[in-house]
Amino acid sequence: MSDVSISALNSVKPRLWVETLWLLDSLTATQPLREIPLRRGLNLIVSPPGTGSSGHGVGKTAFCQLLRFVLDDPLWSDGSTLRDELLHSRELKEGAVAARVHVGGETWTVVKPWLHQKHYRASRTADWQQLAANGAENEFAAYQAALRRHLVEILPVQKLPGSKQSIEWHQILAWCSRDQNARYQNYYQWRADGSGFSWPAKSPAALMQIVLGLLPDGATLRELDGTAKALEKHKANLQALREEPGRLLKHVRRQLARRLNVSAQTPFRQDGLLEHPNLIGIAKQRHGAYQQELLTIDAERQEFAARRQAWMEKRAPLKAGIDLLTNEIKQMEALADGDIQEVDRLQKEASSLQQQLPTRCDAGNRLLRDCSHVMTRIEQTQIDRKQRITQHQRAKETLESELLPLRRRLAELETEAVPMNEQLTAIDQRDAALTTRHAQSLSADQLLSDAIEDYELYEDIATGKSSSPEIATLERQLESTQRRHSQLQIQLDKERDAVKGRRQVISAAMQSVAKSLPSFHWGLLSDDDKHRNRPFQMGPMHSTTFKVLEILAGDIACLIDSTSPESLHPGFLLHDSPREAEMSESMLWALLGHVASGESDAFQYIVTTSTEPAEAFKPFERLRLSSDSENGLLLRRRVGAEQRPLT
């Protein structure tokens, strides 16, 4: 996909929304237990009190958990018994949830059974029936990648400050779909059992700031810190480089004096007309001695090479005879054992009699192939394969008798070759010793030459006769780093001004929410360290639901602000029974009315409630549940070992 296409997808609002949710009693189902259509904007899942019921225990929280499940929340069932109840239900243990999900402009159909993770499936083209029946290509890994690409990788910071923990999609989803069990005690308490942060005291606030565009990517600040450290490092390195030639000069002088075995006070070169010992003069003498020794060694090695060649030529006929006899004996032994494969292998060896037929014998000076004695011996090992198998026991005694003279002759030849082998071994040992001496002398001469060269180089740099390329390079790097440091300081000031502007925009959204509620006159996003767990504030305070209302209003302000180009919020928000904290009906409908009044399709807000909606909110009702009959329950039946109601 091109950069332009990716940019276009990232600008789609909302980045995430769910169009339809299906509940299935099995993967083989042709019809869902329940189909729940959803839309962008406000969506109400309601269960008003009925005859003899309070509207609770019908499946509102289960709906929220299953919605999180299909959005790939690994913690979807934490803090509740829902998954265990589903798995222990005789009718539903093979069931699944399916959904049509829009992610960054792409439409996905997802099917996730609660029993087997290996059956999680997703597709951009198939419907839920095809996926459930495994009749379409499974793109579930691509679906997970799409969630991360459009909702996490767009963030300017990929690791949480302080902990350096990589940001995960399920952590953002936790903020956008608070657990009812968390009871709204703290703005950053999103899951009753935690949201998987390694630093839970600080990371949720940092994540929210990153998503809202309130925390710059940190690249400028990190680079600024980096350039400040680089400046100090360049200055220290430059000072060290300027001092290094003098230090190295002393080191090389001591090393040179030690190699030449003279006093450390010996001058490097002759000063004046008077002759006196100096390192350069002694080194030249030592260099001449090394060169003479290398010439002597080379001459000796050439002499030994000639002697070795003479012995090799003298031993060659004898060795050929030994190799030939050895091969022939092995062939006859293999033939006696009935090992035909080994006979075939030996006949193909270069030392075998069969391979030497084109050569001449020494005794008769005729081709071996024309010698009847040789051909008879060969024919003994070339009898028909079946004959060899049937006759090899009978022929074994004959072969053994023929092997005796061959073995005696082989022993005679090997004894005759012993003095020659000893001579060759002695020559090789002497040559190895000469090679070692040659390497030692050559190395000592090279080290001496390198030490003199290094001394002259450092002496010229220390006395100013020449300049060090490293010093010149480092001076240029220091100047470049100083310029970059100044540029970054200006850029950081601009980023801080931009963050201040973002904070004002979100505060304005919070102010708008607060003023839409009865008895509230102001709202803001606070960066006061004293209220770090209460970033969204409204006033004046006047009821026991004040803290819960601030949390809900803060979530809604962030949702409304998600339409801003600077926000990286998914544009998706799920609140489970927000009135459970005894919020008044008028306050609830005023809050939801503010969301509905914008008539925006750039975000999706899903709310479950056991309060009967006013007439004005009927168009936003997507599902009505009831405990009056099992058909009114979310899964159209009660689940659990004791058939307890769904929460």
How far is the CA of 643 from the CAs of 23, 34, 48, 51, 97, in angstroms? 19, 19, 22, 20, 20
How far is the CA of 545 from the CAs of 184, 581, 587, 608, in angstroms? 10, 7, 10, 18
Which ranges constitute the DSSP H helices of 516-646? 546-561, 585-597
For residue 301, pLDDT over 80 is answered with yes
Tell me the C-alpha distance between 121 and 110, whole Å.
Answer: 6
| DSSP code of residue 531 | G
Tell me how many degrees the CA angle 287-290-294 measures, rounded to the nearest 5: 140
Q: Averaged over 469-494, what is the pLDDT? A: 87
Q: What is the pLDDT of residues 589-602, one digit of tens each?
A: 999 999 999 888 99
Binned at pLDDT 50, 70 and 90, residue 525 comes out as very high
Backbone angles phi, psi at 530, to 5 degrees: -70, -25
For residue 361, pLDDT over 60 is answered with no
Name the average pLDDT for the chain: 82
Predicted pLDDT of residue 625: 94
Contact criterion met (CB below 8 Å) for 437 and 297: yes
Q: What is the pLDDT of residues 427-478, one digit of tens each?
A: 889 889 888 888 888 887 777 777 777 766 666 666 666 667 787 888 888 8
Predicted pLDDT of residue 368: 52
Establish whether the linkage from the previous residue to 535 is cis, with ω within 30° of 0: no
Comparing CA positions, the residue from 571, 584, 619, 528 lying closest to residue 40 is 571
Range scoring the smallest mean pLDDT among 7-11, 481-485, 533-537, 579-583 = 7-11
Predicted pLDDT of residue 272: 56
Range scoring the smallest mean pLDDT among 378-392, 394-408, 511-525, 571-585 = 378-392
424: its two tokens? 């060759």
Most confident of 215-224, 333-342, 559-568, 578-587: 559-568
Q: What is the pLDDT of residues 371-409, one digit of tens each?
A: 555 555 555 445 444 455 455 555 677 777 778 888 888
Q: Averaged over 327-345, what is the pLDDT? A: 82
Binned at pLDDT 50, 70 and 90, residue 350 comes out as low
More confident: 337 or 552: 552
Q: What is the pLDDT of residues 30-73, one digit of tens each?
A: 999 999 999 999 999 999 887 666 667 899 999 999 999 999 99
Predicted pLDDT of residue 81: 85
Q: In the chain, pLDDT over 90 holds for what percent of residues?
A: 37
Q: What is the pLDDT of residues 171-185, one digit of tens each?
A: 999 999 988 777 667
For residue 105, pLDDT over 70 is answered with yes
